[in-house]
Amino acid sequence: MKELFETGVLSTIPQADAILNGLLQMASDGLSIGSSTALLPEANDAAATGATIEDGMSGDTDFPHGKLKTLASAGERSVCPESPNMKITGTPDGVGAYLVDDDTVRVVVQSEGYGPLRIES
């Protein structure tokens, strides 16, 4: 895997080493669903403000309408017995929630994937 990415497109991306280390971590033990705490959304766009960004960390979290916490992230894997190692796929575009029973909240999320038309997933 390391050679593949060092000679491939990843080598052209800033912070490629950090991304590679993340991939190696995924290959070894993965991240279970809900274990990521860093947020994808930003309160302000670092590309526009010039804020320093750090891989694996949240950006600007000063959201105008309150605090956000992560429920699940694309790429995390299931450690649940009914779906061992199933990955949460991205990109999320559509979410809903309902009670399965009195003790369980089920969050349904769909991914916007493109099959073979673009990067197949």
Query: Nearest approach, Cβ of 82 to other proteins (angstroms)?
Result: 5
Q: Is 44 in the site for other proteins (CB under 8 A)?
A: no
At 6, give phi and psi (nearest 5°).
Answer: -65, -30
Q: Which helix (H) or strand (E) holds 48?
A: helix 46-49
Query: Nearest approach, Cβ of 2 to other proteins (angstroms)?
Result: 13
As a whole number of angstroms, the distance between CA 25 and CA 83 comes to: 21
Give the number of residues in contact with other proteins, rule: CB under 8 A: 78
Residues 72-91 that bind other proteins (CB under 8 A): 72-76, 78, 80, 82-83, 86-91
Q: Is 110 in the site for other proteins (CB under 8 A)?
A: yes
Q: Is 107 in the site for other proteins (CB under 8 A)?
A: yes
Contacts of 66 (CB under 8 A, 6+ apart): none
